Amino acid sequence: MITGIKGTRRIRRATAVAVTSAAMLATGALTAAPAQAVTAPSIVAKGGYVMNNSSGSSLFTKAADTKRSTGSTTKIMTAKVVLAQSNLNLDSKVTIAKEYSDYVVRNNASQAHLIVGDKVTVRQLLYGLMLPSGCDAAYALADKYGTGSTRAKRVANFIGKMNTAAKNLGLKNTHFDSFDGIGNGSNYSTPRDLTKIASSAMKSSTFRTIVKTKSYSAKTITKTGSTRTMAPWTNTNGLLSSYSGTIGVKTGSGPEAKYCLVFAATRNGKTVIGTVLASTSIPQRESDAKKLLSYGFAKLG
């Protein structure tokens, strides 16, 4: 009786092994592909780049060093320059000038709807810059942190700081001629360079906190000294709600730039960061980014 049971077990085991082996052979699992052999995705965006944020090693490239208009992804550098100021006081207040408001109206630009005469903190301006992509907030920050006797000189000086920061990162294919991405013919970067700018910016805990925030309500001080609660600013980065582990970073768009997205996500302690430039729509740039993030994580294993 006992022998019969053992024999039966052996037969069952042998059958199970044979079935499993056949299944594994059928799926190629016996010769499991190494992590780096994951099939690279196809993206619609004209340019794309992904890297391992901790090591800086490339995980995906598509025209990664081709210069393109960057739209509002430019604002990553705007924020980086502000956050790099010595003795930065995030609670310092900036009075909103009429020119900031006129500028966004004149350019039909994305805005934080800042109200002329209100006093807004630098921290609030950074949220207004990065969530609703406020060009008025970008102007206010450039005016505050540039040096010069006139507004035009201060803005030019601030843009100079943006270019110096790019040089300090060793970027050779990036140039800024605006504080917000509304370029004057010479505002460009590449997927690789933008990813490196974002990776550097993400070293700031303040920046990390801001770019992963989905919604933010600022309380500003009006001309009369009362408190105004602004309408909530919503983050334009749809990945925060649709891709698990997303921690940033910034959208961009424009007639020349098309649809851009600098993105980052962390899963199982690993962070993948990347950029897509010149995609065809908001849903498409998010689809491209999701493909690249998933590919990056698959490559990291």
Q: List active site positions.
A: 72, 75, 133
Q: Is the peptide bond before 249 cis (omega within 30 degrees of 0)?
A: yes
β-strand partners of 249: 263
Answer yes or no: are the C-beta atoms of 292 and 243 closer than 8 Å.
no
Question: Using an 8 Å Cβ cutoff, are 279 and 45 in contact?
Answer: yes
Q: CA–CA separation, 204 vs 126, rounded Å?
A: 13
What residue has token string 């190494």?
34
Distance CA 100, CA 118 (A): 12
CA-atom Rg of the chain in angstroms? 25
What are the residues whose beta carbons fall under 8 Å from the beta carbon of 12, sequence distance 6 or more?
A: none
Q: What is the DSSP letter of 175?
A: B
Beta strands in 68-161 (DSSP E): 68-69, 93-95, 119-121
Strand, helix or coil for residue 60: strand
d(CA 32, CA 225): 67
* CA–CA gap between residue 39 and residue 9 (Å, rounded): 41
The residue type found at 136 is D
